[in-house]
Structure 1
Amino acid sequence: MLFNSHIFLVFLAVTLAGYLAASRLDFRLAKLWLVAASLFFYGWWELSYVFLLAGSIAVNYLAALFIRRARSRVLLTGGIAFNLGLLGYYKYAGFLTEAVNAAAGTGFPVPHIVLPLAISFFTFQQIAFLVDAARGEAENYRLIDYLLFVTFFPQLIAGPIVHHKEMLPQFTQHQRRLARNLSIGLTIFAIGLFKKVVLADEIAPYSDALFGAVEGGYVPTMREAWIGALAYTLQIYFDFSGYSDMAVGLARLFGIRLPVNFFSPYRAASIIDFWRRWHITLSRFLRDYLYIPLGGNRKGDMRRHTNLLITMLLGGLWHGAGWTFVIWGGLHGAYLVCNHLWRQWRGPAAGTSAYLPSWARLWAGRLITLFFVVVAWVFFRAASLDSAVTVLAAAFGQAERGVLAPIDMLDSSRPLSLIAAGFAICWFLPNTVQWMRRYHPVIDPSAVTRWDKGVLKVHWRASLGWALFTALIGFAALLHLSRVSPFLYFQF
């Protein structure tokens, strides 16, 4: 069930009405209703995988109980192995079989396994819970609260990857201030829906046209390659930003605050800053449960850089079972290593020039960062390594053109106008967290107080004028719901 569908809006209305009615009787009943609704939401796609989700929850909850009592590393290792084994079978069995066949010349049959929705997300959440249980940092929560922590439908399918310390305490408290939560939640949801169905889906055909044609053997012009790559750069931005906003807004309808997961990453002036803004909760998980346990930056520069590369390679593989994702992660790992080396060499002035004014240094950093991000996105989007290489070769004028006719829709001025408008929105308009900052839309208070240079300082208020504006963008989004368009992160 997609957030951007009519059936979801019906589901949301019924779920919210049932939750509010049950809350008047017994808050435990309300939570049980919300768990049931979340399982129904998940099962709408494939009912059989509800049992997979329920089994994963049962094993992890019981494992956490025993781990807390025994503080056993053997039990923790077994719990983590269970989760990684489940993820490995469903997500990587086919990829690993193909890799073995290619490397060893074997002929093992490649399994074709349908990837369960959200398995990457709920697996990482529960691994973090087990690790913290072994550290004595996870309390003995009731089963109903743990069920809601894992299955809560606003964040179940594509994140954020929530942490038990920030979510489970909220599920134990009866949330009030109904009118405030509804107005804030619906506003944020409308913004996210608009980003997805109006902005992301409007520019998506241009990236699809390029990469689809290249996969079919077409060699693009330099103009086509850059238009398609920049179109995808904006598509994935507004798609993921829209989903993140919709998740925050939906959770707020039930009085729950989610952590910030997306904070204007194309305003980043370095790759380090980019990863503090893009998929923030994934970066946090990789840092706390992979990079730091590997040794982090505590064992010298060489070990630090090795740990960064390993972390980003595995982060790329988390996104998808394919060499394109591995290369994407490897590129970002190399970017981060270079960024850290540059800062060590230049000191406090790293990434800037003393001969440039501050605004020029800022924009130089942003554009250089964006350039390398776009190059990496080509691998992320391409269906194969050959396609990615073809697009990049064309982008840098190194591809040998064939005799096929140009792609008509990429030869017009419209995609250039959309790209210019898209980057103007990214750079100069406040993001949703900034726009709603008076009402603390997310958990992290530092995200609410951050304000980027050059951004229009506009704040949403509970007033008639802003209500009409919200209704306007909500109505515009509803007009576009006829198109079936899954979120890009659903595939991960």
Structure 2
Amino acid sequence: MLYNSYEFIFLFLPITLVIFYKLGEKRHHKIALVWLIIASFFFYGRWNPAYLMFLLGSLTVNYSLGRIINNKVETLLAKNLVINDRFYLILGIVFNLGLLAYFKYANFFIESINGLVGSNWTLKNLILPLGISFITFEQVAYLVDTYKGKIKDHDLIHYCLFISFFPQLISGPIVRYKELSPQLKSPKIFRFDYEDFSVGLTIFSIGLFKKVIIADNLTPHVSLIYGAINQDIHLSFVEAWTGILAHTLRLYFDFSGYSDMAIGVARMFGIKLPLNFDSPYKTTNISQFWSHWHMTLTRFFRDYLYLPLSRCLKTWPLGKGQIAQQRATAFNAFIGLGITGLWHGAGWNFLAWGGLHGIYFIVYQQWRDFLKSKGNNLKDSPWWSQLISWFLTFSAWMFALVLTRTETMSQTLSMWHSMLGLNGISLPSSLEKDFNFLGNFGFKFSGLMPNFIYNNLNPSEIFQLLQLIMILLIVVLFTPNTQQWMGQYKPAIDYYAGRIKKQWKANIWKRLQWKPSSIFAFISFSLLAISLFSLNQEQPFIYFQY
């Protein structure tokens, strides 16, 4: 069941909301939460009943381990002993990562071994449960936080809803137990609140519009261009850049739309989820980019991989002083981003994608340290320096993104060749007549111009797509995002201090901030209606495959 489906919008969501608030009105708070769990189980099992068995088994094992770990921690603290009994924590982590490795990466490893030794091993009937990566990370975080004594309350109902709550079950955001459990204790969420509902419905409508009207309409163009690459057809300069820009924007609006819809649906129930997407294409360095793109994933790797690895590296012979710190940071970044790439897809291309981002980070770190050593204040850079930094960051992201759509390294290199103009750059012959009035000079001038050869695709369609891309880039780079537009109503948990609280400098944007009025209600309804009338074909969100 997709968020962008009539079944979800007109049946599942209204029924779940009505019954939840009816139970809440009668003060049956626990029953209302159990109803949400049942609805979430139905939502998950609707894809495939086998998924539900996986979810129930994972919940049972991890909740039991969490209670055992908590009891041991309390016992050790009561005896004033240092917490050092890690057996059950390690068992839980191995269990969760083992399931993830088996379901998501087993075929990848087997195919890699087959390629090395020439064997023909196969693993048949392996079903990849949806959202397994997100479920696994939430379970690991729960066990680690329990071991550290950060979680005292282990309510079974709260725990089941923390993992299975349907707005964030399939593709996140990755929620912490201590972020959701206190909200479930509040009587406020059981009373229907017009502000929560209107804010949630507005955010959901914006997300649905992004997905259905923008991302889904870019999909055929992206498929056409990358389809040509996968058939080993060499694209022209314009075709390549049109393809990668369309791919870049499609991914942006697809994931941004999903994040909005998840936050919006949860807010209809009076529940806030963590902020997960915050205009990453406006950032000016790769470190900043990853703190704005899939923010809860970046937070997970920072807290449960990067920082623990940093503490371990202090005992390694990496040098002394600043050199040791730089080497440790570089190693951490390369490992962390490499794993991030592999998390996004079980394939060498995704591992290369993550590794390339690790190299980006190391280059950025070295450049940043060099500028600091020269006495430059990085927080007070001139506009032209920020513009160059943005261009390099955005271009680096697009070049790496090619790896996530091509099937072989030769296809990746072919796309990069086209993007760099190594397959030839000149004007299409249909435009040469535009320089005839210049005589011989015009002939020479046209010979110097870039040769935008359209080898495979319709030139008029390419130009129309480029016009759409330019409009979307303006929207992405120069207009407020959903969180800023709805900022005064705090649409999400702002765990990055002050992220949502940013105010726009331009007065025009301040006047356009959302508020409960007839004008904004009409805008929200229009976005929703346009999206609903355009739901001809349900297309899954890109991040559902992760």
Are positions 1:433 and 2:444 aligned together? no
- Post-superposition Cα deviations, 1:205-244, rounded to whole Å, max 9, x if no partner, equal 2211111121122221111111000100000000000000
> Aligned pair in 2 of structure 1 residues 254, 64: CA closer, same or farther (>3 Å)?
same
In the alignment, structure 1 segments of 5+ residues that lack a partner are none
1:173 is matched with which residue?
186
TM-score, structure 2 as length reference: 0.86
- Post-superposition Cα deviations, 1:69-94, rounded to whole Å, max 9, x if no partner, equal 22431111110000011011110000
Are positions 1:67 and 2:65 aligned together? no
1:485 is matched with which residue?
539
Q: Distance in 2 between matches of 1:453 and 1:157?
A: 36
1:196 is matched with which residue?
211
Q: Kindly indicate whether the alpha-carbon contact (under 8 Å) linking 1:190 and 1:473 is maintained by their aligned counterparts in 2.
A: yes
SS at match of 2:328: helix
Q: For the aligned residues, what is the CA RMSD?
A: 2.1
- AA in 2 matched with 1:417: Q
Q: How many residue pairs end up in the alignment?
A: 488
Q: Distance in 1 between matches of 2:526 and 2:19?
A: 28
Cα distance, 1:106 vs. partner?
3.3
SS at match of 1:292: helix
1:12 is matched with which residue?
13
Are positions 1:421 and 2:475 aligned together? no
2:36 is matched with which residue?
34
State which drifts further: 189-198 or 364-373. Answer: 364-373
State which drifts further: 338-347 or 404-413. Answer: 404-413
Q: 1:305 aligns with which of 303, 310, 330?
A: 330
Q: 2:514 aligns with which of 443, 460, 470?
A: 460
Q: Distance in 2 between matches of 1:136 and 1:386?
A: 50
Q: Distance in 1 between matches of 2:504 and 2:397?
A: 20
Q: Give every structure 1 segment of 4 or more consecutive aligned residues whose post-TM-superposition deviation is greater than 6 Å.
A: 350-354, 452-455
- AA in 2 matched with 1:22: L
> Aligned pair in 2 of structure 1 residues 410, 236: CA closer, same or farther (>3 Å)?
farther
Q: 2:456 aligns with which of 393, 406, 420?
A: 406
SS at match of 1:293: helix
Are positions 1:319 and 2:344 aligned together? yes
Q: Distance in 2 between matches of 1:330 and 1:145?
A: 38
Are positions 1:449 and 2:508 aligned together? no
Q: Kindly indicate whether the alpha-carbon contact (under 8 Å) linking 1:186 and 1:253 is maintained by their aligned counterparts in 2.
A: yes
Cα distance, 1:349 vs. partner?
3.5
> Aligned pair in 2 of structure 1 residues 94, 113: CA closer, same or farther (>3 Å)?
same
Cα distance, 1:353 vs. partner?
9.8
- Post-superposition Cα deviations, 1:377-413, rounded to whole Å, max 9, x if no partner, equal 1112223333222211211123499x99512278531
Q: Distance in 2 between matches of 1:479 and 1:43?
A: 27
Are positions 1:78 and 2:91 aligned together? yes
Are positions 1:389 and 2:413 aligned together? yes
Q: Distance in 2 between matches of 1:436 and 1:114?
A: 40
Q: Distance in 1 between matches of 2:454 and 2:205?
A: 42
SS at match of 1:303: helix
Which residues of 2 match residues 234-313 of structure 1 at below 5 A?
A: 234-295=249-310, 300-313=325-338
Q: 1:372 aligns with which of 396, 406, 409?
A: 396
Q: Distance in 1 between matches of 2:455 and 2:388?
A: 36
- Post-superposition Cα deviations, 1:26-48, rounded to whole Å, max 9, x if no partner, equal 01111010000001001111012
- Post-superposition Cα deviations, 1:158-189, rounded to whole Å, max 9, x if no partner, equal 11011111111111222146111111110000
TM-score, structure 1 as length reference: 0.95
State which drifts further: 100-109 or 161-170. Answer: 100-109
- AA in 1 matched with 2:329: R
- Post-superposition Cα deviations, 1:309-341, rounded to whole Å, max 9, x if no partner, equal 001101111111001110111111111111111
Cα distance, 1:369 vs. partner?
0.8
- AA in 2 matched with 1:432: T
Q: Kindly indicate whether the alpha-carbon contact (under 8 Å) linking 2:486 and 2:513 is maintained by their aligned counterparts in 1.
A: yes
Larger radius of gyration: 2
Q: Kindly indicate whether the alpha-carbon contact (under 8 Å) linking 1:39 and 1:50 is maintained by their aligned counterparts in 2.
A: yes
Q: Kindly indicate whether the alpha-carbon contact (under 8 Å) linking 2:301 and 2:336 is maintained by their aligned counterparts in 1.
A: yes
Cα distance, 1:268 vs. partner?
0.2
